């Protein structure tokens, strides 16, 4: 019951987005450590092959980082968003972060997709005289 209340608080509760993001990261880290500990208690890390251990650990890390990337929090009201498409929060209308692993918010001109071949325009350098 406490787990359901915790997930409800993270999804709908009102708190600053940065605080909820930190709490979410801590809870994912605790869940990851608990899964590793349960596996160690049952002998999973000692009685299996090295390849299976690496694959299982990699799968746990992949799920961990996937959740960290896909879930973002509104910076002002703290609502959890699991969809990367909406640029603004449906509750308060604030701009949402680009993804869950950054606090940089999406701005109105950021609607175009990222193209790695596109050259960015550099700001002109100010010449203060000859350079040595």
Please give the Cα distance from 45 to 49 (Å, whole number): 8
Is residue 17 in some structural domain? Answer: yes
pLDDT, tens digit, 9 for 90 and up, residues 32-83: 999 999 999 998 888 889 999 999 999 999 999 998 888 888 888 888 888 8
Residue 7: give the domain boundaries. 2-81
Checking if the pLDDT of 126 tops 80, the result is: no
Is residue 108 in some structural domain? Answer: no
Please give the Cα distance from 79 to 119 (Å, whole number): 35
pLDDT bucket at 17, cuts 50 / 70 / 90 = confident
Q: What is the DSSP letter of 74?
A: -
Q: How many domains in the chain?
A: 1
pLDDT, position 112: 59
Is residue 61 in some structural domain? Answer: yes
Is residue 105 in some structural domain? Answer: no
Model's pTM, two decimal places? 0.68
Tokens coding 77: 């009201």
Please give the Cα distance from 85 to 41 (Å, whole number): 41
Is residue 119 in some structural domain? Answer: no
For 5-15, what is the mean pLDDT?
A: 82
Is residue 66 in some structural domain? Answer: yes
Burial of 98 (0-12, 13-18, 19+ CB in 10 A): middle
pLDDT, position 128: 67
Is residue 13 in some structural domain? Answer: yes
């Amino acid at each position: 019951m406490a787990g359901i209340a915790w997930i409800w608080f993270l999804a709908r509760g009102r708190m600053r987005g940065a605080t909820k993001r930190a709490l979410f990261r801590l809870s994912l880290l605790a869940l990851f450590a608990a899964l590793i500990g349960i596996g160690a208690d049952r002998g999973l890390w000692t009685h299996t092959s090295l390849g299976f251990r690496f694959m299982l650990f990699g799968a746990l890390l992949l799920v961990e980082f996937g959740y960290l990337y896909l879930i973002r929090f509104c910076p002002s009201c703290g609502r959890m968003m699991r969809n990367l498409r909406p640029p603004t929060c449906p509750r308060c209308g604030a701009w949402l972060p680009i993804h869950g692993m950054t606090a940089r918010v999406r701005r109105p001109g950021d609607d175009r997709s990222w193209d790695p071949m596109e050259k960015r325009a550099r700001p002109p350098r100010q010449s203060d005289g000859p350079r040595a």
